[in-house]
Amino acid sequence: MKKFALGGAVALAMLTAAGAGIAQTATTTTTTRTTTLSPDQRTVVQEYVVREKRPSVVVDNYEVRTGTALPPSVQFYTVPQMDNYRYTIVNNRQVIVDPTTRQVIEVLN
């Protein structure tokens, strides 16, 4: 009887370990670098963008949204008090951009 119980315990432990391995291989994680501006920061940046009067760049077949990369033809401008980011206006939308990846971090309007 002891051999049967021990064998069952070993089999159960093996099945549990195999199940854990399957669960680990089926898990995927997606990481997106984003920033959320505080309401005060948004106001400062939007007022700055309006004062600067930069032209909007038209990019055909491009949906302006967080996480998308902008094409090389789009020029970026400095953002006050935000050294790591830039802004631009694409298809009449003000966006904050990571200049190293050209990725839209936040859409302001």
Strands of the sheet containing 82-90, edge to edge, are 77-79, 82-90, 93-98, 103-107
- List phi, psi (to 5°) of 66: -60, 135
What pairs with residue 89 in β-bridges?
Answer: 94
Give the C-alpha separation, 86 to 78, whole Å: 5
**pLDDT at residue 8, rounded to an integer:** 53
pLDDT digits (tens, 9 = 90+) for 50-106: 899 999 999 998 999 999 999 999 999 998 778 888 999 999 999 999 999 999 999
pLDDT value of position 41: 79
pTM over 0.75: no
Rg (CA), the chain: 25
Q: What is the pLDDT of residue 104?
A: 94
State both tokens at 96: 């904050």
Both tokens of 85, joined, read: 């980011």
Pair of tokens at residue 24 = 């680990």
Domain boundaries, the chain: 1-30, 39-107
Task: Give 5-59 pLDDT, tens digit per residue.
Answer: 545 555 545 545 544 444 444 444 334 445 567 888 788 888 898 899 999 999 9
How far is it, in rounded angstroms, from Cα 42 to Cα 27? 36
What pLDDT is recorded for position 2?
Answer: 52
Look up residue 29 and give its two tokens: 């994680």
pLDDT recorded at residue 39: 84
